[in-house]
Amino acid sequence: MSGGDAILGVCFDLDGTLVDSERLQWEAYRRVLADHGIDIGLDEYRRHFIAVAGGAEYACRRYALPFDAATLRLRKAAVYHELIAAGVPPMPGARACLERLHDRWRLAVVTNSTRAEATTILDRLGLTALLHAVVCQHAAVGLPLQALAVDQRAVEVEAHAQDRVTAAHGARERPP
């Protein structure tokens, strides 16, 4: 960014950035599929549910399930909600990061989770009060930026900062 530009807000993803929920997603699918004699392993889940879109469609095709992908997602969502109600572990340093940034910038979570899932997770961890906005799945693409009064340049800066945080985490170093 050039001189005069300012970061007005910071957007965070929820799953994998603020909370460690991916294994709970996997466990929810495992429980639903177990009712049909299917045990989906973590590697298979990573390859067909995380790495590419269409995990539920894959499972319905691969295992010839007697219902469609939308039904599988609904059943999984009910189990997932029970799991997150019991608690989701925060990512190391997530709360401290939000606390440090809260008074300086507008903060938002932008997530593909449903509103009910995001609210359950954030409330249970006591993070809701640190956020100015929570934008969930099915929200208009431009809404997060409008809600925060942040222009695209600021979001691009955060994306580059996230790359540095990810690299530092992989190297077991503290980010700058």
For the stretch 42-65, pLDDT in tens is: 999 999 998 888 999 999 999 999
User: Per CATH, which fold does 22-85 belong to?
Assistant: DNA polymerase; domain 1 (1.10.150)
Asked whether the predicted pLDDT for residue 28 surpasses 70, the reply is yes
Give me the residue spans of the domains in the chain: 9-20+90-170, 22-85
Q: Give the residue with greater pLDDT, 114 vs 75.
A: 75
- Residue 121 confidence class, pLDDT cut points 50, 70, 90: very high
pLDDT at 40: 96
- Candidate CATH numbers 3.40.50.720, 3.90.1150.10, 2.40.110.10, 3.40.50.1000; the one for domain 9-20+90-170: 3.40.50.1000
Percent of the chain with pLDDT over 70: 75
Mean pLDDT of the chain: 81
By CB atoms closer than 10 A (0-12, 13-18, 19+), residue 132 is middle
pLDDT at 141: 41
Angle ∠(17,70,48) on CA atoms, nearest 5: 50
DSSP letter at 47? I
SS3 content of the chain, % helix, strand, coil (to 5): 55, 10, 40
